[in-house]
Amino acid sequence: MRLILATAAASLFATAALAQPLPAPASYPPVVGAKGVVATHALSMAMADQIAHAAIDACRKMGFHTTITVLDASGALKAFLRDDMTGPHTISLSKDKAYTAITLSNRFATSGAFATARSSTLGSPMTNIQGVVGVAGGVPIKYRGEVIGGVGSSGAVGGDKDELCSQAGIDAVADQLR
């Protein structure tokens, strides 16, 4: 009988000890980056696809057939559309324009701004950074000031027109980037 009472008493004390609330964390929400971790935002496949289709549609309305490349912030391919009647060179050039926009976004608003600063009109490559070209048509995609990707257009007559197409793609999802 004493063994049963002792076991019951021990289980009551154990249950009470386990039922105590846990201490609150040092801060809530937890501090991000305090231990070397950086939180970033990423471009979704669905948004990249929306951007690419809207850019193609905008170019067609202007009378141009272009190739559109959407890259994520690391420069990896996220979406790609090549309209009918575009030259083969537009494939790599649209990617390079998007890459240029991402790579140089901390110094230039677009690949066109970079081209103007370098007095480049023919899209000459920047020899010390592979994939960077001095021609308009690339625009970075930003979410609350953070670059989450880039759009490049190639095939319109003139880089300034390509840049309009790229920007139109971004404008189509602007409400989601706020």
pLDDT in tens, 83-123: 999 999 999 999 999 999 999 998 999 999 988 888 876 66
Q: Is 34 a domain residue?
A: no
Q: Is 162 a domain residue?
A: yes
Q: Is 17 a domain residue?
A: no
Burial of 1 (0-12, 13-18, 19+ CB in 10 A): exposed
Q: Is 28 a domain residue?
A: no
pLDDT in tens, 6-54: 555 555 555 555 555 655 555 555 556 567 788 899 999 999 999 999 9
Structural domain for 155, as ranges? 45-177
CA 138 to chain centroid: 13
Q: How many domains does the chain have?
A: 1
* Cα 155 to Cα 43: distance, rounded to the nearest angstrom: 24
Amino acid at the residue 87: G
Q: Is 24 a domain residue?
A: no
Q: Is 1 a domain residue?
A: no
